[in-house]
Amino acid sequence: MTSDHVWRQIEGLLATARGRVVLVAPFIKREVFAAAVGAVTAAEAEILCVTRWSVMEVAAGVSDPEIAELAAADSRVSILLCHDLHAKLYLADDRCLVGSANLTAKATGRRQPRNLEVLVEVPEAHPEVQQLLRDIQATAVPATLELARQIRAQADVLKSDEDCPKFVVVTEEAEEDGPSWRPETRAPHRLYPVYRGSRHDYVSEILAGVVRDLAHLNLPQGLSETAFSKAVLAELHAMPEVEQLVTSGRLSMADLQQQLMEADGTTEAQAQRAAENICEWLKYFGEVRVVPTGPWEIRQGREFT
């Protein structure tokens, strides 16, 4: 068995395609994607690529949103994004390979040292294959050149940011080491415009903080502002330090700061700033008000004016 056996499987499958091709992988590199599309010789074939783009993963170098440029140059190709994608599947007409290999050089054995991967052929009609394809159609959003460029720009900010931890390895189930994420941006209204790729004149330090927050939130692409706000609020409510607000409707800022210090080992000044940022986010994305009670307190419900 050759070191590029996995690639030969994929290439051989795609060479047989006459009509429908589907490439499903969370991580796709430009060079391997170009080779896969080139392996489909049928001019009438329709090639659907399903992947995911995360700013953090692109910054780590495991995915190339530039595959959108290749798709734009080949009328046969379209790309969909699935935020929670983990499956790897390669389909040509009624034949299908499923397994562990992404469309990257190491996964396919096109570069050494290679990963140890497996792909097994199953019929396209297999119920699990059909269920996956239905789930993709129900949840995926179209990828665009504009979005690809936006993701790359934000990834470049993340890579050049000295305050951001460097990414050594990224896997679908990787747990981050070190302190938990805390909202960094003091002005949460900046998040959605940057998420949408809107024009802005933020200085580099402010933009880097917004991008760090968005990278850690890692929300699906294409959300409306209302859906985005709900998703951010859900992330805030999932923080252990905010549990008391969710369950009892109030949270002492002194308690919040103490919990942050105990959880992360931060200084009192760092915990105070983090608590104030959390408060600003909760006020912007949720319905809370700040009530002076000696040490002030966050409570559910908007403030009446």
Residue ranges covered by each domain of the chain: 5-146, 178-300
pTM for the complete prediction? 0.85
Q: Taking Cα atoms as reference points, which of 285, 183, 192, 197 lies closest to residue 233?
A: 285
The owner of tokens 């589907």 is: 22
The position carrying tokens 């951010």 is 232
Strands 297-300 and 250-252, by their bridges, are: antiparallel
Tell me the CATH class for 5-146: alpha beta
Q: What are phi and psi for residue 119, nearest 5 degrees?
A: -130, 135
Catalogue the long-range contacts made by 187-192 (C-beta closer than 8 Å, 24 or more residues apart).
Answer: 187/280, 188/232, 188/280, 188/281, 188/284, 188/285, 189/284, 191/228, 191/232, 192/225, 192/228, 192/229
Distance (Å, rounded) from C-alpha 123 to C-alpha 149? 36
Residuewise pLDDT in 10s, the chain (305 residues): 788 999 999 999 999 999 999 999 999 999 999 999 999 999 999 999 999 999 999 999 999 999 999 999 999 999 999 999 999 999 999 999 999 999 999 999 999 998 999 999 999 999 999 999 999 999 999 999 999 999 999 999 988 876 555 544 454 444 444 457 889 999 999 999 999 988 788 888 899 999 999 999 999 999 999 999 999 999 999 998 888 888 888 888 888 888 888 887 778 898 899 999 999 999 999 888 777 665 666 777 766 44
